[in-house]
Amino acid sequence: MATEVRVNRRRYLVLAVAIGLGAGACQGGSEGGLGAASCGGESPRLTAADADRFLADVNNTILKLGTESAQAAWVYSTYITPDTEALNARGNQAFIDAVARFAKEAAKYDDVEVSAEQRRQLQLLKLSLELVTPSDPKEAEEVTKIATAMEAMYGRGKWCREPDKPSTCLDIEQITEIMATSRDETQLRDVWEGWHSISIPMRGDYTRFVELANKGARELGFADTGAMWRLKYDMPAEEFTKEVDRLWDQVRPLYVSLHAYVRMKLREKYGDVVPADGPIPAHLLGNIWAQDWGNVFDVVATGSADQGYSLTDILKGRQAAPQEMVRIGERFYSSLGLAPMPDTFWQRSLFVKPADRDVVCHASAWNLDFKDDLRIKMCIDPTEEDFSTIHHELGHNYYQRAYNTLPILFRDSANQAFHEAIGDTIALSVTPEYLVKIGILGQAPDASRDIGLLMARALEKIAFLPFGLVIDQWRWDVFSGKITPADYNSAWWERRTRYQGVAPVTPRGEQLFDPGAKYHVPANYSYTRYFLAHILQFQFHRELSRIAGCTTPLHRCSIYGSEEAGRRLNAMLQMGLSRPWPDALEALTGSRQMDATAIVDYFAPLKAWLDEQLQAQGTKTGW
């Protein structure tokens, strides 16, 4: 399953908030932002009763405006017209404006003695936005327009081989298909360079965007926007940076072995364009961002590296209908003892692309009223990718329902990574043994096929890990000023090369803006959540497999049918955002620390096999 197919589709229409150290309004500079606001002048002394009234207003307003915004977004996504686009923008702006106002007002209560639950809600508000607009109305309008323009620029992006011939123009979907299926090195290079040209016009806008975003963040007491993002994870910004590095160090040896093996196979395929011991050319990994290598499985899966069956072929042979595929996913959760989806889910979800109108086909999970109006939106095909994605999307819906009795500000996952991790945890249970139990596969492949199964998953999961770091590592340094506008592109490729071991095949000058060719940069959507989600999903899977009594190797474990695993999982889901994420992690795993050793355990047979192949061929690792 292509990681970007999922990660680029997760902009939920709920308040994306996470706890961190508080920030005092009207103060500037300090990273943690602790302390009362010092705005000057006298004001009435606020009390706990004032805080209670304020939070009641916040929760009621967010429920009302959030529901209206979600409804407008759903209509736009499933019926795209200029009118629905305008209605969606209007509803979204009203919601964002209200949250921004509440976030700034929350700092007034820093010195007020309130209950622990109220304090948490107030602090969540202060860290509720990806972008804080400056207090100056003109600058607030400017940064909002820039943000909208950059996202629209990406959305309209096309590369035209012959600019005067519209028939030669390719959008991101067509680019993605070519990158996935073509094995013509010249074509891949042209398409790769072509797509990266769509972001050149963003460069000046992005420079100004950083200035204004930082100004807004500093008005709330944060050092910069990047520091504000990191504080969403219940620890100081610099401590969080070290924690991410610690987790990467745990999995880096596995990535290095996979990288060397894939490089060796690509060199066999493409010749000297792939170096024997240097970075892999970024255009040869089956994905426009080189973040998911699953599409080159056919190049690297030789001999024992073959998983032994094709779920896509099986589904197509059965003529599996979209709704039945979703029913199968629902039955997985029912086997854990969780209640089925409500009737409205089946009446209101979109499973098939309509023939009469444009829709946003990107898979996503929705809870339109913050309670039980649960839906998924997918244009489902009978493929292994979509089958797994259905299980993933439903994980979001079950999470959304589990915390739907909490105050609105707590109706979200324990941190930004947990929502993604839960969906992917369930997808890890889509094993051959599970497929046998539900009657889709006649017999599970024997252990001789394990390398193929693990290779397919590693090309998706392990290949993604350094990319999951790079985007925010680059942005944190941009927001802090460590990377200046004059070095945007060179710094981007320095980090891509250092972490991923990939590089462009031709020089990339500073007249370009390659970071903008990735959606999350112009959309200003923080990305470390996806790295952490990849860590957490394996940690969750290992513990749930233990609870379910699984005795097979971890990569063959499925929690299907284990009500005890379902009970423990749901107990964590019900906590929502009401407690710091270490509390939620401990409720499920017994540990308060994220741990990437579960990934090492899961892929241990593959790591041993990769090292054997590399040693036998005398192939060097690293770049």
User: How confident is the model over 391-402, as pLDDT tens digits?
Assistant: 999 999 999 999
**pLDDT category of residue 425 using cuts at 50, 70 and 90:** very high
362 annotated active-site? yes
pLDDT for 621 equals 96
**The two structure tokens encoding residue 494:** 């320095």
Segment 200-212 mean pLDDT: 97
The yes-or-no verdict on residue 13 having pLDDT over 50 is no
Closest CA to 217 of 292, 131, 306, 151: 131
**pLDDT category of residue 11 using cuts at 50, 70 and 90:** very low
**Which among 259, 391, 396, 555 is annotated as catalytic?**
396
pLDDT for 152 equals 84
Confirm if 463 and 1 have CB atoms less than 8 A apart: no
Q: Please tell me which residue, 410 or 43, carries the higher pLDDT value.
A: 410
530 annotated active-site? yes
Confirm if 452 and 306 have CB atoms less than 8 A apart: yes
pLDDT for 401 equals 97
Question: Could you tell me which residues come within 8 angstroms of residue 433 by beta carbon, excluding any fewer than 6 positions away?
Answer: 444, 552, 556, 558
| Distance, CA of 496 to CA of 202 (rounded, Å) | 20
pLDDT tens digits, one per residue of 219-235: 888 999 999 999 999 88
196 annotated active-site? no
Q: What share of the chain is helix, strand, coil (3-state, %, to 5)?
A: 60, 5, 35
pLDDT tens digits, one per residue of 326-347: 999 999 999 999 999 999 999 9
163 burial level (CB within 10 Å; 0-12, 13-18, 19+): exposed
What residues pair up with 350 in beta bridges, in sequence order? 377
Ordered by start, the domain boundaries in the chain are: 3-132
Q: Supply the mean pLDDT for the chain.
A: 89
| Distance, CA of 279 to CA of 503 (rounded, Å) | 6
Percent of the chain with pLDDT over 90: 71
Read off the amino acid at residue 589.
T
419 annotated active-site? no
**Which among 283, 392, 419, 555 is annotated as catalytic?**
392
pLDDT tens digits, one per residue of 113-131: 999 999 999 989 988 888 8
283 annotated active-site? no
pLDDT for 256 equals 98
| Distance, CA of 149 to CA of 151 (rounded, Å) | 6
DSSP class of residue 303 equals: T
What are phi and psi for residue 452, nearest 5 degrees? -65, -45
555 annotated active-site? no
**The two structure tokens encoding residue 143:** 């940064």
393 annotated active-site? yes
What residues pair up with 231 in beta bridges, in sequence order? none
pLDDT for 8 equals 34
Q: Please tell me which residue, 448 or 408, carries the higher pLDDT value.
A: 408
pLDDT for 103 equals 87
Count Cβ neighbours within 10 Å for each residue of 450-474 and write b for 16 or more, e otherwise.
Answer: bbbbbbbbbbbbbbbbbbbbbbbbb
pLDDT tens digits, one per residue of 594-615: 999 999 999 999 999 999 999 9
Question: Could you tell me which residues come within 8 angstroms of residue 12 by beta carbon, excluding any fewer than 6 positions away?
Answer: 364, 365, 366, 367, 396, 419
**Which among 12, 525, 527, 530 is annotated as catalytic?**
530
Instruction: To the nearest 10°, report the CA torsion of 426, 431, 433, 436.
Output: 90
Segment 541-561 mean pLDDT: 96
149 annotated active-site? no
| Distance, CA of 526 to CA of 133 (rounded, Å) | 16
345 burial level (CB within 10 Å; 0-12, 13-18, 19+): buried
**pLDDT category of residue 34 using cuts at 50, 70 and 90:** very low
Instruction: To the nearest 10°, report the CA torsion of 33, 36, 42, 48.
Output: 130
β-bridge pairing 502-503 and 280-281: parallel
**The two structure tokens encoding residue 491:** 């710094």
| Distance, CA of 241 to CA of 431 (rounded, Å) | 34
| Distance, CA of 107 to CA of 72 (rounded, Å) | 31
**pLDDT category of residue 445 using cuts at 50, 70 and 90:** confident
**Which among 25, 363, 584, 596 is annotated as catalytic?**
363
DSSP class of residue 519 equals: T
Q: Which of 73-82, 174-183, 355-364, 539-548 has the lowest average pLDDT?
A: 355-364
**The two structure tokens encoding residue 401:** 């329902």
**Alpha helices by DSSP H, 383-440:** 384-402, 416-428, 432-437
Read off the amino acid at residue 299.
V
